[in-house]
Chain A
Amino acid sequence: MNCSQVRALLQAYVDGDLSPLARLRIGEHVQRCTSCAQYLGELEEEVEELAHLPKVSAGTSFTHEVMSRLPQATPWSAGSQEGSTLSSRRSWRWPLAAVAGVVAVLAGTAFLPSGPSFASVSGEGNIFHKQDAVAVPANTVVSGDLLVEGLPVYIQGSVRGDIYTIGAPIYLSPQAHVRQIVKVQTPIQRVVCRLRGWSDQGASWLLGR
């Protein structure tokens, strides 16, 4: 084996990813060739140093801080959970309540103003809309845009259009498919108007504001 053949295999050699014969050949070459020996030495030293990087620890208050930031409501899909086992604690009533509050938006546009918060879908798709959260459950596809104001948004399914949010945190599950998330400062109804080509008055009328 010449040097360039050996160099090509040294990485696999470090991984222990070669046949015994190939290892033997490389071992022989490295004993004769100082430049390949140096190269191998550098690789092995580098791996050694990486493996011995000091381990760091999260702070002692880490768990507490994360626990205090957990959302009140969780979007775990009602379908996969048996409703009867849900505890009656406020934060876990969401899936049950969501069934009552399911907003099925089919073929068209719907606006659901509720106090200071607001959620809207254009096109087809089901979203869960409750007083304290909005969710696109797993295996759900929203064909149009999703607009949410003042509510946390949980996305587990797909949103084919754009997602516009104002003052709303958005959580994506690893399975979520979204095209674009736009965090806007503009009141949502103005965004709606721009998208639909309506005048602002139209929106306030629709929203009853």
Chain B
Amino acid sequence: MPMSKYESDAQLVKRVLKGDQQAFALLLERYKDAIYNLCYRMLGSPQEAEDASQETFLRLYASLGNYDSKRKFSTWALRIATNYCIDRLRRRHQGSVSLDTMPQDQEENSEPLIATLVSDELLPEEQLLRGEQSDEIERALQKLSPLYRTVLVLRYVEELSLDEIAEVLDIPVATVKTRLHRGREALRKALQQVEQSEHEEAADRQRMAGVSG
């Protein structure tokens, strides 16, 4: 394909604003996977990720008139997606508090109620996708508070630099670093818990097998 065929994000946005709706489809094709990955790792289920990604693009479209072409389109899109996912997680969290009598978790020692609301059952195609290791890390990730999860996902799933994360979240780089440090520490602890509970389950199964056999 000749180089002149490639249109920048800003050019596509301009076309949409002038009434060419098809140009929005090109933007969608460009960024749907990045947005879907973010939503999937933030929310933990394919159905919710699909829903949240669609909502992100609808919001993006509705506010396209405000897009500042001096900024990167990808950063702006990720920002809308991130804010939406965090809102969703908070709503989920609030909802569970009224149903549950469990104590409110603290930011520091986060084993959120969210974790209890995420189904452990995997769809067959997901089971195929996931190795055992990534399964553990995914479960651990879902145990983190939204703020920590956000920086980890932006850093390692979206592969953004610290500066880019700062821009997406509209916070200073120093804050990004602090959250990243705490997030990794929280994830380390969550991983240990996940591994421990798996060992216990395995031991239980063995005992059961011993009793019945």
The listed residue (A43, A52, A85, A174) touching B188 by CB distance below 8 A is A43
Q: Kindly supply a per-residue 1/0 record for chain B positions 176-197, scoring 1 wherever the CB is within 8 Å of any chain A CB and 0 otherwise.
A: 0100110011011001000000
B118 contacts A by Cβ under 8 Å: no
- Tell me the B48-79 residues at the A interface (CB within 8 Å): 49-50, 53-54, 57-59, 61-66, 76, 79
Min C-beta distance of A53 to chain B, whole Å: 5
Return 21 A-B CB contacts under 8 Å, by A number. Answer: A11-B180, A11-B181, A11-B184, A15-B180, A43-B188, A49-B137, A53-B157, A54-B134, A56-B33, A56-B40, A58-B33, A58-B36, A58-B50, A58-B53, A62-B54, A70-B24, A74-B65, A81-B17, A87-B18, A91-B19, A156-B66
Q: How far is the CA of A53 from the CA of B140 in the complex (A)?
A: 12
**Contacts A15-B177, A63-B29: A174 and B83 contacting too (C-beta < 8 A)?**
yes
A49 contacts B133, C-beta separation under 8 Å: yes
B130 contacts A by Cβ under 8 Å: yes
A89 contacts B19, C-beta separation under 8 Å: yes
| Minimum CB distance partner of B27 in chain A | A63
Q: Give the residues in chain A near B61, CB-CB below 8 Å.
A: 70-71, 74
Q: Give the residues in chain A near B133, CB-CB below 8 Å.
A: 49
B66 contacts A174, C-beta separation under 8 Å: yes
A173 contacts B63, C-beta separation under 8 Å: yes
Min C-beta distance of B60 to chain A, whole Å: 9
Q: How far is the CA of A89 from the CA of B21 in the complex (A)?
A: 10
Min C-beta distance of B14 to chain A, whole Å: 10
The listed residue (A12, A46, A51, A69) touching B58 by CB distance below 8 A is A69
| Minimum CB distance partner of B181 in chain A | A11
B-side residues, CB < 8 A to A, are 17-21, 24-25, 28-29, 32-33, 35-37, 40-41, 46, 49-50, 53-54, 57-59, 61-66, 76, 79-80, 83, 129-131, 133-134, 136-138, 141, 152, 155-157, 159, 162, 177, 180-181, 184-185, 187-188, 191
Min C-beta distance of A145 to chain B, whole Å: 22
A128 contacts B by Cβ under 8 Å: no
Q: Give the residues in chain B near A47, CB-CB below 8 Å.
A: 156, 184
B32 contacts A175, C-beta separation under 8 Å: no
Please give 8 more A-B residue pairs, beta carbons under 8 A apart, in addition to A81-B18, A174-B76: A42-B191, A46-B187, A56-B36, A58-B33, A75-B62, A76-B64, A81-B17, A172-B59
**Contacts A74-B62, A171-B58: A62 and B28 contacting too (C-beta < 8 A)?**
yes
Q: Give the residues in chain A near B59, CB-CB below 8 Å.
A: 171-173
Q: Kindly supply a per-residue 1/0 record for chain A positions 34-51, scoring 1 wherever the CB is within 8 Å of any chain B CB and 0 otherwise.
A: 000000001100110111
Q: Give the residues in chain B near A46, CB-CB below 8 Å.
A: 137, 184, 187-188, 191
B21 contacts A91, C-beta separation under 8 Å: yes
The listed residue (A59, A71, A174) touching B50 by CB distance below 8 A is A59
Q: Give the residues in chain B near A53, CB-CB below 8 Å.
A: 41, 134, 137-138, 156-157
A80 contacts B by Cβ under 8 Å: yes
B137 contacts A62, C-beta separation under 8 Å: no
- Which of A46, A51, A175: most chain B Cβ within 10 A? A46
A200 contacts B by Cβ under 8 Å: no
Q: Give the residues in chain A near B41, CB-CB below 8 Å.
A: 53
Q: Give the residues in chain B near A66, CB-CB below 8 Å.
A: 28, 54, 57-58
Min C-beta distance of A60 to chain B, whole Å: 10
A51 contacts B156, C-beta separation under 8 Å: yes
The listed residue (A43, A62, A71, A176) touching B184 by CB distance below 8 A is A43
| Minimum CB distance partner of A176 in chain B | B63
A56 contacts B65, C-beta separation under 8 Å: no
**Contacts A50-B157, A70-B58: A62 and B32 contacting too (C-beta < 8 A)?**
yes
A138 contacts B by Cβ under 8 Å: yes
**Contacts A53-B156, A56-B40: A87 and B19 contacting too (C-beta < 8 A)?**
yes
Q: Kindly supply a per-residue 1/0 record for chain A positions 2-34, scoring 1 wherever the CB is within 8 Å of any chain B CB and 0 otherwise.
A: 000000000110110100000000000000000
